[in-house]
Homo-oligomer: A and B are copies of this chain.
Amino acid sequence: MQLDKFTDYGLRILVTLAAKTPARIPTSSIAQVFDLSEHHLSKVASELVRCGFVTSERGRNGGLTLARDATQINLGAVVRGLQSDKPVVSCFGTDKSCLILPTCGLRSPLAEAQEAFYAALDRYTLADVTAQKSALAGLLSDLPSAKMQAS
């Protein structure tokens, strides 16, 4: 199974903010340092704000920060939030066209497998996965300094 790029990029935003906390970092800087589309990353950031993981402030010193401490951001909750509208198989979403849907015995095992995937991530917080904070901050040292502002 695959996580889509939307979730992948959401995780990169959170790791970056955790590594650089308490700095306020523009989406454009994160896009630049990871060589990603700023337009796409802005949509991901909006979803992280909507889910309550990130705070966004506008203006000259604007940017993204974690909405709460990294120890209080659960990895399973993040991935569930970012994946919420993406079904594990199409019939778990709006596509009910599969001929065998009425008696398909795959639905229960697939639902269990999906929950097992999230449950494994529930055991970790953003703080756990950014424990090597100084090494991460070093890798992210090219975050455009002119655009990076301390909060």
CB <8 Å contact, B113 and A120: yes
CB <8 Å contact, A109 and B121: yes
Q: How many monomers of this chain does the complex have?
A: 2
A16 to B34, CA, bound (A): 45
A25 to B142, CA, bound (A): 58
Number of interface residues of A (CB under 8 A): 54
CB <8 Å contact, B2 and A102: no
Complex contacts, A116 vs chain B, CB 8 Å: 113, 116-117, 119-120
> Contact partner of A3 among B1, B4, B8, CB < 8 A?
B1
Chain A residues engaging chain B, CB cutoff 8 angstroms: 1-5, 8, 11-12, 15-16, 19, 33-35, 75, 79, 83, 86-90, 97-100, 102-106, 109-110, 112-121, 123-124, 128-132, 135-136, 139-140
14 A-B pairs whose Cβ atoms sit less than 8 Å apart in the complex: A1-B2, A1-B88, A3-B89, A3-B110, A15-B105, A34-B98, A100-B140, A103-B135, A104-B129, A105-B131, A109-B128, A109-B129, A116-B120, A117-B117
